[in-house]
């Protein structure tokens, strides 16, 4: 991809220059001498290759000695590409085949100038034989304080043979890095926190089952290609990062992109478009960089108080079953914020266990006397929560329904279509579903009315907002380009729900939690959850992966997030029936989630095979204990949520955010900070009763014993019910938390 100076190459370059105006393989050639030009508060420095300096370097006036972004010395930094691209969707998973047919990588710089407030670089690109070429324009302009917007586009200026009938459909930008630079962010990453050394695709899709854990991943891929996922598949994949060198960049574009971080000394970003646009950020520390980033991406509002009052009890089974579990919890003194009843629409049996009927109306057979149940909950200051996604199925086979929403959508022209002008059948497990076309204003208004009439009017105070990652690239939608709308779709799905709530004046009362997203999702969503982890301990798709996803998402503005307590996916395919939720895992997951934004259970895809909070006296006592721990932290979460709303800071934080100058903090995977005052190191290994964790500068107090620890690595006992949790010595929040625990009877 990159080439160095050699005499032969230079001779070839100048020969091609004289004959064709394009530049041959090798170094970047410039007619322009060195200069520094202002772009608002930023400085864009251009230097001639003969000086041995970076061709382009970006700095900020307040600290001109620090390089925020630069190209590599003597290296081409733009590439125009013609490629054959094939993207296949299968049950929400995507396979992308990218066959480059022409690469124009050999670059000239004709001019570097100041155009008003923008620094503009123009030049040409050519292929190895100087027969095909492109012109390019790259600009740098300050978008707002701390934001330098860059944009590059290419246009064909010369062609030969088959390439004359084609347009450039990809552009790649390359720039400098260093071998010791660590890259964090990219949305939710469940396998690797530091992505240096990896190739990161940016596409919202199903996370997959196993995500590389064997044999489950390979077995599922045989049954359903792509459904096993891999180390990079994510519901929320975002083209944004923050590095250990305090550098940060993100893309504004929505097309599929790939960040290639495998080279020690460089980064390349390829986007499936003839244009790339993004921003380089300036900040003094990681929290300031998150603040800058969320000025663009949006920020999450503080949650209503009721969310913090106790557990969100995820359960199914109907009205009588709700009262049964409610009585059980009431006898234990369990604080309850809500009952989350995802089967309010009725259930169906599928190949993975039980799923819901995707016809968004109350199933009165499952929940008779619904209004009385909701009224009883509200009388006890408990909320009802439900479930919805952007798919629809024909409920004819269900037999009992009042509205056929699928038929309404077909008749109204509200669904995503295929090339045959028919509703696009999106496969999910063993049935097909139609997908609402959110780029169609009429479809948006219609599904919004469904949310208002069938959910909010029924008394729901919130719901799981599921899926939204499956829009096929070859679909026909109202806006015309499904490939570029794919990553935007989950943002729009959240916006529609946000608008429905706001239009009824309930935006301070109702909470929905969604799993999929993209760059601007933080400003559109109320709460996130991490999607479907397996009911296992591992770092591929189990408890450990959930902690990594929680921590990584905070870099990209996903400030309020949580996971299903105990995970979701159990597997019972022949020899793989070992994957079921164990009691110990469930209880340890409770401990971890008490220190996140929401404390919510899920029975899983096969409830009868999984340990549940109500399984026995031990699980019920542990559930009650950590619902109280969660409630005891309510005052502190409220403080952190104000920071999330004002600055975009996450509640759960990678330790780098507060200790960027401590290299020991860089690679910590399974411990995290809650705000600046608490360190949590949950037990993430089976049969472990202690943890080894790292405490940064200062003195830290162990919550359960009151013992003080100095900075460094420590081994701490963590018997069931007492995970390793510390607070800064002298912290008012820590002292208040301890008092609250005593008041709850926990300590």
Beta carbons within 10 angstroms of residue 483's beta carbon: 18
pLDDT of residue 476: 98
Rounded to 10 deg, the angle between the 634-647 and 617-632 helix axes is 60
Closest CA to 57 of 70, 47, 48: 70
pLDDT of residue 574: 56
For the cut 50, the answer to whether the pLDDT of residue 17 exceeds it is: no
pLDDT of residue 76: 93
pLDDT of residue 21: 37
Inter-CA distances, 738 with 80, 702, 733, 742, 743, Å = 60, 10, 9, 6, 9
Count Cβ atoms within 10 A of the Cβ of residue 7 and give its class: 0-12 exposed, 13-18 middle, 19 or more buried: exposed
Tokens of 710: 């100095």
pLDDT tens readout for residues 386-436: 999 999 999 999 999 999 999 999 999 999 999 999 999 999 988 999 999
CA distance 644 to 659: 19
For the cut 70, the answer to whether the pLDDT of residue 694 exceeds it is: yes
Inter-CA distances, 248 with 282, 286, 289, Å = 7, 9, 7
pLDDT of residue 4: 32
Do 382 and 339 meet the contact criterion of CB atoms below 8 Å apart?
yes
CA distance 342 to 358: 11
pLDDT of residue 223: 83
Report the predicted TM-score, pTM, of the whole model to 2 decimal places. Answer: 0.95
End-to-end CA distance of the chain: 60
Residues near 288 by beta carbon (within 8 Å), at least 6 away in sequence: none
Q: Are strands 248-251 and 183-187 parallel, antiparallel or unpaired?
A: unpaired
571 pLDDT tier (thresholds 50, 70, 90) = confident
Q: What are the backbone angles phi and psi of residue 563, rounded to the nearest 5°?
A: -125, 165
DSSP element (H, E) containing 653: strand 652-653
Closest CA to 551 of 683, 653, 651: 653
| Overall residue count recorded for the chain in this entry | 747
pLDDT of residue 9: 31
Q: Would you put residue 102 in left (φ > 0), alpha (ψ -120 to 50) or beta? A: beta
pLDDT of residue 53: 57
Do 569 and 209 meet the contact criterion of CB atoms below 8 Å apart?
yes
Give the residue-averaged pLDDT of 243-265: 98
Give the residue-averaged pLDDT of 714-731: 98
Give the residue-averaged pLDDT of 288-298: 98
CA atoms within 13 A on the CB side of 285: 10
CA distance 208 to 532: 8
pLDDT of residue 527: 98
pLDDT tens readout for residues 180-199: 999 999 999 999 999 999 99
CA distance 743 to 628: 10
Quick check: helix, strand or coil at residue 29? strand
pLDDT tens readout for residues 345-393: 999 988 877 899 999 999 999 999 999 999 999 999 999 999 999 999 9
For the cut 60, the answer to whether the pLDDT of residue 15 exceeds it is: no
Place of tokens 């893309």: 251
Inter-CA distances, 566 with 301, 347, 511, 680, 684, Å = 27, 21, 22, 18, 12
Closest CA to 303 of 744, 639, 601: 639
CA atoms within 13 A on the CB side of 608: 5
Residues near 722 by beta carbon (within 8 Å), at least 6 away in sequence: 704
Per cent of the chain over pLDDT 70 is: 95
pLDDT tens readout for residues 45-57: 998 766 555 589 9
Tokens of 182: 């660590």
pLDDT tens readout for residues 88-139: 999 999 999 999 999 999 999 999 999 999 999 999 999 999 999 999 999 9
Q: What are the backbone angles phi and psi of residue 529, rounded to the nearest 5°?
A: -130, 160
Closest CA to 608 of 354, 228, 391: 354
pLDDT of residue 8: 28
Q: Are strands 257-260 and 672-674 parallel, antiparallel or unpaired?
A: unpaired
Burial letters for 235-244: b for 16+ Cβ neighbours within 10 Å, e otherwise?
A: bbbbbbbbbb
Average pLDDT, the chain: 94
Count Cβ atoms within 10 A of the Cβ of residue 214 and give its class: 0-12 exposed, 13-18 middle, 19 or more buried: exposed
Beta carbons within 10 angstroms of residue 441's beta carbon: 10
pLDDT of residue 10: 30
Quick check: helix, strand or coil at residue 490? helix
For the cut 60, the answer to whether the pLDDT of residue 3 exceeds it is: no
């Amino acid at each position: 991809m990159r080439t160095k100076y050699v005499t032969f190459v230079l001779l070839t370059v100048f020969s091609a220059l004289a004959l064709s105006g394009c530049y041959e393989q090798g170094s970047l050639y410039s007619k322009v001498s060195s200069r520094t030009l202002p772009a608002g508060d930023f400085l864009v420095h251009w230097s001639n290759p003969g000086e041995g300096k970076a061709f382009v370097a970006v700095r900020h006036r307040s600290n001109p000695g620090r390089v925020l972004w630069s190209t590599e010395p003597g290296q081409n930094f733009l590439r125009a590409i013609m490629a054959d691209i094939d993207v296949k969707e299968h049950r929400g998973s995507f396979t992308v085949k990218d066959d480059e047919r022409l690469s124009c990588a050999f670059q000239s710089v004709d001019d570097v100038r100041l155009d008003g407030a923008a620094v503009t670089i123009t030049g040409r690109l050519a292929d190895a034989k100087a027969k095909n070429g492109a012109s390019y324009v790259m600009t740098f302009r300050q978008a707002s304080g701390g934001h330098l917007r860059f944009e590059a586009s290419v246009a064909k200026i010369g062609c030969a043979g088959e390439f004359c009938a084609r347009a450039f459909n990809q552009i790649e930008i390359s720039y400098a890095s260093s071998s010791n630079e660590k890259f964090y962010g990219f949305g939710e990453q469940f396998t690797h926190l530091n992505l240096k050394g990896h190739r990161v695709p940016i596409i919202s899709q199903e996370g997959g089952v196993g995500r590389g854990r064997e044999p489950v991943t390979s077995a599922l891929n045989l049954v359903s290609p792509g459904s096993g996922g891999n180390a990079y598949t994510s519901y929320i994949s975002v083209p944004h990062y923050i590095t250990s060198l305090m550098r940060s960049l993100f893309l504004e574009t929505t097309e599929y992109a790939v960040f290639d971080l495998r080279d020690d000394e460089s980064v390349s970003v390829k986007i499936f478009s003839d244009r790339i646009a993004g921003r380089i950020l300036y900040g003094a520390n990681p929290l300031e960089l998150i603040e800058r980033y969320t000025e663009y991406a949006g920020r999450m509002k503080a949650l209503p108080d009721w969310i913090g009052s106790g557990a969100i009890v995820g359960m199914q089974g109907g009205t009588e079953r709700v009262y049964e579990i409610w009585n059980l919890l009431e006898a234990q003194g369990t604080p309850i914020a809500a009952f989350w009843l995802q089967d309010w629409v009725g259930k169906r049996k599928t190949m993975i266990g039980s799923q819901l009927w995707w016809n968004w109306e109350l199933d009165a057979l499952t929940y008779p006397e619904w209004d009385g149940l909701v009224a009883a909950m509200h009388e006890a200051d408990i909320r009802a929560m439900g479930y919805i996604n952007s798919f629809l199925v024909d409920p004819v086979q269900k037999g009992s329904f009042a509205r056929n929403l699928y038929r309404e959508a077909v008749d109204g022209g509200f669904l995503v279509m295929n090339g045959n002008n028919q509703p696009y059948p999106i496969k999910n497990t063993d049935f097909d579903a139609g997908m609402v076309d959110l780029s169609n204003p009429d479809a948006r208004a219609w599904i919004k009315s469904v949310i208002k009439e069938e959910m909010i009017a029924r008394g729901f105070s919130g719901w799981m907002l599921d899926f939204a990652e499956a829009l096929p690239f070859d679909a026909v939608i109202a806006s015309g380009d499904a490939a570029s709308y794919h990553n935007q779709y989950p943002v729009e799905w959240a916006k529609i729900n946000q608008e429905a709530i706001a239009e009824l004046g309930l935006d301070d009362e109702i909470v929905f939690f969604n799993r999929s997203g993209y760059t601007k999702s933080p400003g559109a969503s109320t709460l996130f959850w991490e999607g479907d982890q397996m009911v296992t301990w591992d770092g591929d798709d189990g408890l450990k992966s959930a902690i990594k996803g929680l921590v990584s998402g905070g870099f990209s503005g996903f400030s309020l997030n949580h996971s299903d307590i105990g995970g979701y996916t159990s597997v019972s395919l022949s020899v793989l029936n070992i994957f079921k939720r164990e009691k110990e895992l469930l209880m340890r997951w409770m401990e971890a989630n008490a220190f996140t934004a929401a404390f919510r259970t899920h029975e899983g895809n096969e409830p009868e095979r999984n340990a549940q909070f109500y399984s026995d006296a031990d699980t019920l006592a542990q559930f009650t204990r950590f619902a109280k721990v969660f409630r005891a932290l309510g005052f502190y979460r409220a403080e952190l949520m104000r920071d999330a709303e004002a600055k975009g800071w996450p509640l759960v934080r990678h330790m780098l955010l507060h200790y960027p100058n401590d290299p020991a903090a860089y690679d910590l995977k399974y411990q995290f900070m809650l705000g600046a005052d608490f360190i949590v190191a949950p037990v993430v290994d089976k049969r472990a009763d202690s943890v080894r964790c790292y405490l940064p500068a200062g003195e830290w107090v162990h919550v359960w014993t009151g013992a003080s620890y100095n900075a460094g690595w420590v081994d701490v006992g963590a018997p069931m019910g007492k995970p390793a949790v510390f607070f800064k010595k002298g912290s008012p929040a820590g002292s208040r938390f301890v008092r609250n625990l005593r008041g709850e009877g926990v300590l």
